[in-house]
């Protein structure tokens, strides 16, 4: 993976952080990326929520939005001829 146009100050900060953790910059970046997509604890109750719950929370404000079900008789097989 290549990251272009990285601010020089960010690079220096990353180098310092990696050194403080006894890792290479590459290992530090892997750790940062892994943590950013890991399960995130809810600060209100210390429970850990996965991606599905986080997506649900993002769209919860759309409460009341109903998507109609598609009747089964409208389904048809794909024609690959």
SS3 percent helix, strand, coil of the chain, rounded to 5, is: 50, 5, 45
Angle at 42 between CA 31 and CA 13, to 5 degrees: 30
Measured from the Cβ of residue 14, the count of other Cβ atoms closer than 10 Å reads 16
> Model confidence at 12, in pLDDT bands (50, 70, 90)?
very high
Q: Is the pLDDT of residue 52 over 90?
A: no
Considering only residues 26 and 64, tell me which one the structure prediction assigns the higher pLDDT. Answer: 26
3-state secondary structure (DSSP) of residue 38: coil
> Model confidence at 41, in pLDDT bands (50, 70, 90)?
low
pTM above 0.75, yes or no: no
Distance from C-alpha of 18 to C-alpha of 21, rounded to nearest angstrom: 5
The answer to whether 29 touches 14, Cβ cutoff 8 Å, is yes
Q: What is the mean pLDDT of the chain?
A: 80
């Amino acid at each position: 993976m290549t990251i272009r146009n990285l601010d020089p100050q960010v690079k220096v900060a990353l180098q310092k952080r990696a050194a403080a953790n006894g890792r290479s910059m590459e290992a530090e970046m892997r750790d940062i990326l892994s943590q950013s997509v890991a399960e995130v604890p809810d600060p209100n109750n210390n429970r850990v929520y996965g991606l599905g719950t986080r997506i649900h929370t993002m769209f919860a404000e759309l409460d009341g939005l109903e998507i109609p079900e598609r009747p089964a008789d409208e389904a048809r097989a794909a024609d690959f001829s």
